Amino acid sequence: MGLMAVVYFEGRASHQMAAVVWVQITVSFFVFLLSAPSQAARLYTEDDPVTILTTDTLKQNVHNSSTAWLVQFYSSWCGHCIQYSPTWKALAGDVKDWEQAIRIGVLDCAHEKNFDICKEFEIHFYPTFRYFKAHGSNTDVGKTYRGPDRELQTVRQLMVNFLQNHTKQDWPSHCPPLEPYSSEDILTLLGHKSEQYTAVIVEDADSYVGREVILDLMPYQGVGVRRVLSSDKLLMDRLGVTDVPAAYLLHPNGTHGLMDAQKRLRFFFSSFLKLLPGVHRQNSAFLQNSAHSSSNGHKPTEEWKEFEKSKVYMADLESGLHYLLRVELATHHTLEGEELKAFKDFATVVAKLFPGRPSVVKLLETLLEWAVSLPLDKIPYDAVLDLVNNKMRISGLFLSDRVQWVGCQGSSVALRGYPCSLWMLFHVLTVQAAKRPDALANTALEDDPQAVLQTMRRYITTFFGCQECGRHFEEMAQESMGAIKTTDEAVLWLWRKHNQVNRRLAGSMSEDPLFPKTQWPTPDLCPTCHEERSGIHVWNEPTVLDFLKRHYGSANISPKYTLQPAPPAPPKDPPPPPMPPTQTQTPTPTFPLPRPLPSPAQHSPPWMSSLGQRAWGTTASLSSRCSPGGSSSVRSGRCRGRAWGPRGSRVWGLASASWPWGSPAWT
């Protein structure tokens, strides 16, 4: 743009005018260049499935490599490059499993650091796509791709062609054969036992499905994929294939038959094979875990619990809540300021929306009431623990203190578990918020379609033990959470972002080889959620939304494996009367709980009626808001008391009369 303007003035206007404009343009051009690195950093980040190359790393990666490479040399100030970056990221995600054969890279030629390498590789236009063959020499500058278009499917198919252009000598070290097999090769396998599955993709000669499925399954153990051509009539007859593409499956036990993958498309074939029993991704995590399992004490889970992956297990949700309340939050000595607010919002959301067993729901409700009624800017976390572990227990309110992973159990105790349950918990909560629009009425979170997600965001950034995860989640939230307008969009947003995380983590150390990170729901769970347009997999989002609402709805939560509440423990000795604080001694606050409930099943306990006559806490909390009128249930979202003090006021003196175990020792 700037350069074009200079040419115009050089040709037509006076030299003086051209000089002035030249200076202006030159200055802005250099200012632009100086700002380029930060823009570059934004076009592709480490979270994208591409390898970001630089002067220091380009040659060492693409020369003498065991894999081929496709590198986009771009410039962060080039509009085309910016517009094209989503396609490039999508392509890289789509072929992530091909990494042992061909890898995708980017190099930003606008970055000062990369000026020389772009010159050396003679990059004149942006974007320039270069293929580098595997095992290339130290002088290889790659072959420029000049295809008919840069659509994802076109480039992906050209990657397959490029791989096939390798000779036997320079074939990428781990890439399986992509050529079709003959009928004899396949027929001799029929009826024989084997250590793994063999999938045979039958297709026309110009189809890419077979080769793409072969590459998709590269990192997986327990299955091999071969392709044969439909022109092989003998084989077509023997396998009983009439329509192509088709997939035929040879089982390890020698049986065989046509594969029922719902749709005869690449994505469906690949997903079906990845989910076969005994098929798992081979990754460094698996090798390391098995190597370390004895020395680290990472034993496999002691007792495997059978479960259905089409169900959500209450045991996972309760175990997650237990860990969150008793372990994760307990690392914070005192809750105050933003932490206290994050805690109260979390307590509000779970108390109002968690579709749990009565004893757990009541525990959450009581925790919320207690938290919002405390006239304090600080809560020592021990008080929460005391409440959850001791005081509520006396009242028959019970949250198991044993971890019992079911749908979240891992092949080793170090894998899955808590983070899995946290995702599930928040999926359940977003679905509940969408199904029960009034559930958060009369709280500060009322009418906010982002309520659950913003609460999750605050929880994750404030308390979640994995800080790096929190950072990533915050980046995703900053990008698009603010645009959510409905609770349905919130359900879909969380699903999309969870899949984004799954994609980033596929093949990483945190992946359990028995539970590979896939784009979820897989076709076996929801075939109609998936479609393919122009060879590219797309989601049918309205169907996904329906599926999520069903899957994470209360009717699909199985109580199997939940631990039964123990009978209420006898009340402990009443606490000693509070000591008045001395000048030098900070009082140790005690945190009373409402009188034990006579019946855990009864939703509106009698002690509430006495509260109905009085204010019972501070209204300082943003997390809970009351309307006059009152009601008998926290869940109903209405206040029990009529006489609420002004927002922020302390009304403890009145409230203390309602707490059967006396007033707190601080005032």
Ligand X SMILES: Cc1cc2nc3c(=O)[nH]c(=O)nc-3n(C[C@H](O)[C@H](O)[C@H](O)COP(=O)(O)OP(=O)(O)OC[C@H]3O[C@@H](n4cnc5c(N)ncnc54)[C@H](O)[C@@H]3O)c2cc1C
- Return the active site residues: 78, 81
Count of positions (residues) in the chain: 667
Q: 209 vs 317, which CB is nearer to ligand X? A: 317
d(CA 639, CA 653): 19
Answer yes or no: are the C-beta atoms of 520 and 293 closer than 8 Å. no
Q: 495 vs 652, which CB is nearer to ligand X? A: 495
Q: Give the number of C-alpha atoms closer than 13 A to the C-alpha of residue 358, restricted to the C-beta side.
A: 11
Q: Residue 305 CB, nearest distance to ligand X (Å)? A: 14
The continuous run of DSSP H or E covering 271 comes out as helix 266-274
Q: 256 vs 472, which CB is nearer to ligand X? A: 472
Q: 78 vs 514, which CB is nearer to ligand X? A: 514
Which residues have CB under 8 Å from 527's CB, separation 6+? 262, 263, 268
Q: Residue 561 CB, nearest distance to ligand X (Å)? A: 16
Q: Residue 552 CB, nearest distance to ligand X (Å)? A: 7
Q: Residue 456 CB, nearest distance to ligand X (Å)? A: 7
Which stretches of 132-205 are DSSP H helices? 152-164, 183-187
How many degrees, rounded to 5, is the angle at CA 486 between CA 481 and CA 489? Answer: 60
Burial of 631 (0-12, 13-18, 19+ CB in 10 A): middle
Q: 380 vs 419, which CB is nearer to ligand X? A: 419
- Please name every residue paired with 71 in a beta bridge, in sequence order, or none if there are none: 105, 130
Q: Residue 481 CB, nearest distance to ligand X (Å)? A: 12
Which stretches of 303-379 are DSSP H helices? 314-323, 337-353, 358-373
For 250, list phi and psi in degrees, rounded to 5.
Answer: -100, 120
Distances (CA, A) of 630 to 352, 460, 627: 16, 33, 7
Q: Residue 615 CB, nearest distance to ligand X (Å)? A: 38
Q: 501 vs 622, which CB is nearer to ligand X? A: 501
d(CA 31, CA 76): 14
Q: By the criterion CB under 6 A, which residues form the site for ligand X?
A: 408, 416, 419-420, 422-424, 427, 460, 466, 468-469, 472-473, 495, 498-499, 501-502, 505, 510, 512, 515, 520
Q: Residue 499 CB, nearest distance to ligand X (Å)? A: 4
Burial of 582 (0-12, 13-18, 19+ CB in 10 A): exposed
Q: 132 vs 473, which CB is nearer to ligand X? A: 473
d(CA 453, CA 481): 8
d(CA 226, CA 247): 10
